[in-house]
Structure 1
């Protein structure tokens, strides 16, 4: 088999392959003979269909399959011999005017780029740190108490206040006309917790049981109900019941109800601290990893293979359609999504993936078995039965591969931080948690 490779532009290459016609024909004949032994056709017994009839019916499709297989094999062998790192799938077309007794093909494809990573000692990275203080533990205790609050009916002359649970009847009208979702009976909500629009909460706050009130409410322009967004409605609201919230005391009973092993107030706070510190560690890792990856991309020089970028765009578009489908959007799988919506993000992902792969290869930053084990055990420690979670991860190669990718990124992050100009910045717990 003769092979020539021609450089087109940047990462694009063209390879010309030639194959003897008799090799193709011999494989076609072999496959047709095999097919004739099992094929079923009207008027013939199984295995007794004449070869010329089989060839007439299946010859074209078998010839097409053989051509694909043989050209694909020839391309793989030639690329391997030429030590080419092929990116994506080649585009193969048959050439005209091939030498007698031969078939010729052009395969146009891309190769993976050479990745040049600049001097990391000149890279600037801001590294965040955060502490879990008593105030963060206090807030978490308050959240846990609220989740376990009970309610008792207030006296008839008591006014609704923040923290109360109220039951109301309401009806809204726009220009005197009722609208969908604008009416309810015995509707419950907690005052002051943002469950209702501010004007609604403000109207109910201070009302007493049995009292009615009419008030205007302006729906925000970005309100999820498109029919009423930006419009003003007049609401009539009647308070049917007001219940005061009772929060459990911070004591051993609360710790016990939460399943804390050391069922004391100190044990509860220690357990909360441990969980918050783990969450803080993961968030800091994610934020610092992002800063490192930004610095890495800025320091690297490479051309992105278009075929890999396109595959990433297709994958992201597929994910977006699946998300739309889950939200109940009709014909979501046919939704036209322009490639350019995803192109910048896809290019960055591909670029980053190639840079990280090169850094890992050059500096032996692969995930070690003990690192995988430690990471999985740390994630599992927040669950009731950690050993089951560990087994769950080790029971599926895909899940293990996801953990491996995270560990490799952590290794890359530590490596870059050890080389770069690092500026340490302490942030508050609330600031860190607010970064999502």
Structure 2
């Protein structure tokens, strides 16, 4: 049985804030275990966005009228709030809004990488990188003549830090590492990687898409030069991501997207740019989404990131222990503990991951199947695909049991 304390997440009360969890499919209650892809959105976030559209809807930084002024304040305040949420003391000057983590990776790769990288330079990544990081830096390296090198993942699903020390050297210009693997669940020692990068006069970009929703993150304690995450994985809306960057780096970088809203002066001959962060946010920005992610940050802080982390750890431990009771299950990544997040990727002997996901769908259990945008990692694991169940603050042990029942049905069907 789980240990009940004053610090335990009140799951039943939380679930009431998510009407979508009350849905049924063919008489089966929805069990949503695809949170590493997208979390559900609670009523306080939906209400905040609805209120914006009802009462403040206008474009920002373009109007003198009341609605524009109110929208502008809400949009600017959201930058400050999200900077605070991840421990960035510089406020809005260190927080750029993008569409998602992928665009944040691209922003740095183009705005910094295209100018700074060249033949002989190296970008060091990990073998567990999401395609958002791996493909972006791979393609920028091709364009600039730089090389990509990859830190090995050991048999337990952890980074080989001895190998990291070998790779990160005088030719390294950027280290790009995922904070929490979306396939293995591994929580990487990003502070150690930052130390290695800085000892070799290079920078570090941390992909925090799977970390920020689930645990306290302090970008200054990590000493990250850049840190990115997405709204839709932290109980917020789709269509907005956050890029933290040290202020002096953002000041030095040139924008890679152009248009209205990011300029200071334009002539027929040339243009100059607005201050950070606006110089990286051309066109009409995601205003309602900014209001939503602000509300999501408040919502998660109200529950407590430490509590969310504890709850997820309890669920992943329970799932891991139950899955390993069977010899036909292969689980990827480290055992539950301080360096594993709240997801489990696995395969069942004789059952393809996509078939398993389809059978789960028949039971209204939503899981993910495929390579999870980590094809090279799956190649290293020697499998084409895996099934993934990922947990969040509103999931329960009973829902893990529903997952296990679906697996039992798949075993019988493919026996």
The normalised TM-score by structure 1 is 0.23
Q: Name the one with the larger strand percent.
A: 1
- The structure having more radius of gyration, on CA atoms, is 1
Higher relative contact order (CA 8 A, sep 6+): 2
The normalised TM-score by structure 2 is 0.24
